[in-house]
Amino acid sequence: MRRWIALSLAAGLVGCARPAGLDLTGTTLVDLSHSFEEGTLYWPTSPRGFALEELAYGETPGGWFYASYAFSAPEHGGTHLDAPIHFSAGGRTADAIPLDQLIAPAVVIDMSERAAADRDAQLGAEDVAAFERVHGTIPAGALVLLRTGWDQHWGDRLAYFGDDTPGDASRLHFPGFGPDAARLLVEERGVGGLGVDTPSIDRGASATFETHRILAARNGIGLENLAGLGRVPPVGAMVIALPMKIAKGSGGPVRVVALVPPDR
């Protein structure tokens, strides 16, 4: 029943340009996104970061205030979406991802205690099975979000990545999804995407990005550098993750919001 309600809500949001009849009374809206600014963290090999240029700010000759800016940024940094084409030549581009894949039931798996003790920890298939014994089978189309607690390190490159050598991504240490968990979730459960509060859905020590490849091969989406997952229950919430609609893009900045119903 809960899954039916969640999917009905998603369908209503997708199908209505103005969801005037949508009653969110008592619903808690949780922002799962970091702000974009000069210090926003990007992958160590990224040639540049986020930049904001002031075009206008102040009183106009006509007597009113006016502000305008130009921004530039790589697709993959800050809270962002990985489109399937990021790791699959035939995968969907950012502008081709269906809306019902971006608005979906949320499943939050908490691995924060283990990650605090082992920054190379990864979620395994046995962890997914243990979660399902308590909360039920993860539904097809869900967005599975891994909470590691890593958002507490946001802004501190050394703590967040495990290494701060400029231009070097070979010595990173942070937790993520293990390939066996990804196969179970993507290939057997048919989830629509994976998300995490670290720089990558693969753990930092990965040299092959196998979790990315497993996900992209099934046109799944990735959400990285999330925040605030501790405020979202294991099941019962919805996630809205709408990225910039970049034509032919491999990803882009995304504002991710969780809708937590009052009974959660």
* Residue 143 contacts residue 185 (beta carbons within 8 Å): no
CA 68 and chain centroid, separation: 28
Two structure tokens written together for 92:
């969907």
Two structure tokens written together for 16:
């209505």
Could you report how far apart the first and last alpha carbons of the chain are, in Å?
Answer: 15
Q: Give which of 161, 160, 177 is closest to 169, Cα–Cα.
A: 161
Q: Tokens 């909360």 sit at which residue?
A: 135
Rounded to whole angstroms, how far apart are CA atoms 109 and 132? Answer: 10
Rounded to whole angstroms, how far apart are CA atoms 69 and 55? Answer: 5
Residue 117, sorted as left (phi over 0), alpha (psi -120 to 50) or beta, turns out to be alpha
Backbone φ and ψ for 195, nearest 5 degrees, come out as -135, 160
Does residue 76 have an active-site annotation? no
Backbone φ and ψ for 149, nearest 5 degrees, come out as 80, 5
| Catalytic residue chosen out of the listed positions 34, 76, 80, 86 | 86
* Residue 28 contacts residue 16 (beta carbons within 8 Å): no
Rounded to whole angstroms, how far apart are CA atoms 79 and 71? Answer: 16
* Residue 102 contacts residue 242 (beta carbons within 8 Å): yes
Residues noted as catalytic:
86
